């Protein structure tokens, strides 16, 4: 499994960001070819550090190649063009291969 991770900074208008992201941007992202699943988080800082991202999106693909193909597609271009509509400060994107291990219940 391969993951595209997107971190968003705290916006000036959190309610507007969240509304646009959930009602307009995520439906666009779901059209990315090869996207197998996604998850979303609204992190809270642990301790006094305020450097946590406002929003974290993780999209899962079969491979790095599948992710690149999705990002370069017409749908990927449409998703990228939508970002300034809810996050004028942009986003930080990175990607990685995912390793998971299921643990037996204690």
Residue 92 lies in a domain: yes
Residue 104 lies in a domain: no
The count of structural domains within the chain is: 1
Residue 88 lies in a domain: yes
Q: Which domain holds residue 27?
A: 11-97
- What CATH number does the domain containing 47 carry? 3.30.70.100
Residue 89 scores a pLDDT above 90: yes
Report residue 11: phi and psi, to 5°.
Answer: -80, 165
Q: Specify whether the CB–CB gap between 52 and 60 falls below 8 A.
A: no
Looking at residue 46, what is its pLDDT? 85
Q: Write out pLDDT tens, residues 33-88.
A: 999 999 999 999 888 877 889 999 999 999 999 999 999 999 999 999 999 999 99
Residue with tokens 């059209």: 31
Residue 92 scores a pLDDT above 90: yes
Looking at residue 22, what is its pLDDT? 97
Looking at residue 49, what is its pLDDT? 76
């Amino acid at each position: 499994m391969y993951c595209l991770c997107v971190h968003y900074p705290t916006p000036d208008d959190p309610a507007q960001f969240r509304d646009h992201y959930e009602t307009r941007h995520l439906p666009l992202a779901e059209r990315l070819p090869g996207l197998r699943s996604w998850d979303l988080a609204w992190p809270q800082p642990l301790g006094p550090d305020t450097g946590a991202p406002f929003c974290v999106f993780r999209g899962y693909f079969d491979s790095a190649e599948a992710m690149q193909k999705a990002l370069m597609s017409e749908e990927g271009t449409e998703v990228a063009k939508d970002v300034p509509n809810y996050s004028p400060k942009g986003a930080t994107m990175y990607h990685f291969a995912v390793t998971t291990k299921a643990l037996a219940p204690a």
